[in-house]
Amino acid sequence: MIAQKELPDMGEIILVNITKIMPYGAYCELVEYKADAYLPISEVASGWIKNIHEFIREGQRDVAKVVFVDQTKRALDVSLKKVTSKEKKDKINEYNLEKRAEKFFTQAIQAAHKESKTDEIKKKAAQVVKTYSELLDLTVEGKMPAGVLDSDVKKAYDEILAKNVKPKEYEVGYSVELRALGGKGSVGTIKKAFSEVEALGVDVLYEGAPHYKLTAKGPSYPAVEGKIKEAERVLEKYKSTLSVAIKR
């Protein structure tokens, strides 16, 4: 993290390394914080545990939930059993992404020959973001405020991300019911309306008359929603000849 807290918060999902196992619990080192925690045997797994060594081992890295925090004494208790499989998977993915983003940030500083100013650069970035992943996302999406990174560091960072990071793509889909009004519209009118929609970069999927699906993709939700709104305005022009109903 760029802006590192002293200790995790109550309920936070964290990574731990189990360093010493005792008969009724284990001591853990927090991977993302300069602190240790205690894992009570009752928080290792559900049910009665006869031999703690059957469930954990020294040197094991795992995902835990903070169940007790005393900021004054810097005392922490963690739980393995209170972590769901989804939380575990998400945390591991989040950590791996953060380490990857940190690597790119470090490479940019090295490429700009600003190693001696690393702390200063991080402090400045911390005024805008808390994590390297946030910094990466803002940069890739073109939303990085000016001046957060020195120009030479920013240039190196942009070049590194351009080579290593595929821009995110967002997708939204809307259902459409389109019917020709009696004596006015026709299949030809529907085809013409949808050809204008497709010209906007919006895909039209036929699901069986009068049901269709509009799908748009883009680098951000606002951009994608904007395409759909444009498509909606195109279809609105045909309301005198077509019955149009759009819903997400």
**% of the chain with per-residue pLDDT over 90:** 71
Question: Exposed, middle or buried by CB within 10 Å (0-12, 13-18, 19+), for 89?
Answer: exposed
Report pLDDT for 184.
58
pLDDT of residue 4: 79
Dihedral through CA 188, CA 193, CA 195, CA 200, nearest 10? 180
Looking at every residue in the chain, the average pLDDT score rounds to 92
Which of 75, 91, 95 has its CA nearest to residue 10? 75
pLDDT band at 15, cuts 50/70/90? very high
Q: Distance between CA atoms of 161 and 175, rounded to whole angstroms?
A: 36
| Residue 178 DSSP SS3 | strand
- The answer on pLDDT for 185 being more than 70 is no
pLDDT, residue 216, reads: 92
Contact between residue 158 and residue 152 where contact means Cβ atoms under 8 Å apart:
no
Per-residue pLDDT band for 179 (boundaries 50, 70, 90) equals: confident
Q: How confident is the model at residue 238 (pLDDT cuts 50, 70, 90)?
A: confident
Residue 18 tokens read as 């189990």
Give residue 242's pLDDT. Answer: 84
Distances (CA, A) of 55 to 17, 31, 51, 63, 76: 14, 20, 8, 14, 21
The architecture of the domain spanning 13-83 is: Beta Barrel (2.40)
Residue 9 pLDDT: 95
SS3 call for 203: strand
Task: Provide CATH code, domain 170-247.
Answer: 3.30.70.1130
Rounded Cα distance between 208 and 154, Å, is: 50
Is pLDDT of 90 > 80? Answer: yes
Report the 10 Å Cβ neighbour count for 143. 9
Q: Is 227 within 8 Å of 200 (Cβ atoms)?
A: yes
How far apart CA 220 and CA 101 sit, in angstroms, is 20
Q: Dump pLDDT digits (tens) for 102-154.
A: 999 999 999 999 999 999 999 999 999 999 999 999 998 888 899 999 999 99
Average confidence (pLDDT) over 209-227: 87
Residue 67 has pLDDT above 60, yes or no: yes
Q: Is the pLDDT of residue 237 over 60?
A: yes
User: Tokens 């990574």 label which residue?
Assistant: 15
Angle separating helix axes 132-140 and 151-164, nearest 10 degrees? 80
Q: Looking at residues 85-101, what average pLDDT do you find?
A: 96
Which pLDDT does position 53 carry in this prediction? 95
The token pair that represents 33 in the structure block: 């914080």
Find the DSSP H helices in the chain: 85-111, 118-125, 132-140, 151-164, 187-198, 221-236
How many residues can be counted in the chain?
Answer: 248
